[in-house]
Amino acid sequence: MPRLKDSTRLERRRRIAAAALDCFAENGIAGTTMADIIRASGLSSGAIYSHFDSKADLLRYVMSTMLEERFTAIGDAPEAAPAPTPEALVARLLDGAAADRSRTSVLVQVWGEIARDGDLAAVAEENLAHLRTLLVGGLRPWAEQRDGAELGLATATRTADLVIAVSFGYATLLALRPSVDPEELRGHLLGALRLSG
């Protein structure tokens, strides 16, 4: 069997991950089988298993890919002028969650799987640490303007944890309450964040 070029291999992984994400959103993680993913991807089982060893392996990849998109949304924040506020960074995170509620629902399901899958927990912990680092870096200029250079890092770190908590709460509410208006909820959360600052 010929080896795939790196670009083809990456595209194939993305195609498989997209099929898996659709299946997870439609059937839930527990209700999705590898046969479902194989069928949805239109690829052979051999093609799937040459990229992913198991559904758990694929789930870890899907989660990392989804979170990487959110990282990209906030990654440019330190270059923004003026220094981004906590509200601005939360808004960047929330925009993605509201734009595709089915993906957000899958991410919330992943959090439930973390308790049973040590490898998934490790991936989640690594991604959470990365998110926190990005947020602290993005918030530090704002925090130093507000509290001075000496206290800026501590303020940015505490605020990053608050931003993460607000974002996770928002995602959970979107997943569990389909009738909730994302914009109204976003407004309430951003207002609460302003009051806490």
Q: Where are the domains of the chain?
A: 1-52, 55-196
**Over the stretch 144-177, which tens digit does the pLDDT of each residue have?**
998 999 999 999 999 999 989 888 888 899 888 9
Distance of alpha carbon 80 from its chain centroid, rounded? 22
Confidence of residue 1 (pLDDT cuts 50, 70, 90): low
What is residue 89's predicted lDDT score, i.e. its pLDDT? 82
* pLDDT beyond 90 at 98: no
Of residues 104 and 19, more confidence is placed in 19
d(CA 188, CA 194): 10
- CATH no., domain 55-196: 1.10.357
Of 160-164, 176-180, 189-193, least confident by mean pLDDT is 189-193
What is residue 15's predicted lDDT score, i.e. its pLDDT? 94
User: In the numeric block, which tokens belong to residue 100?
Assistant: 């595709």
Is 3.30.750.24 the CATH classification of the domain at 1-52?
no
Tell which residue, 65, 69, 92, 102, has the closest CA to residue 163: 92
- Quick check: do 1-52 and 55-196 share a fold? no
d(CA 19, CA 13): 10
Question: Count of CB atoms within 10 A of residue 95's CB?
Answer: 13
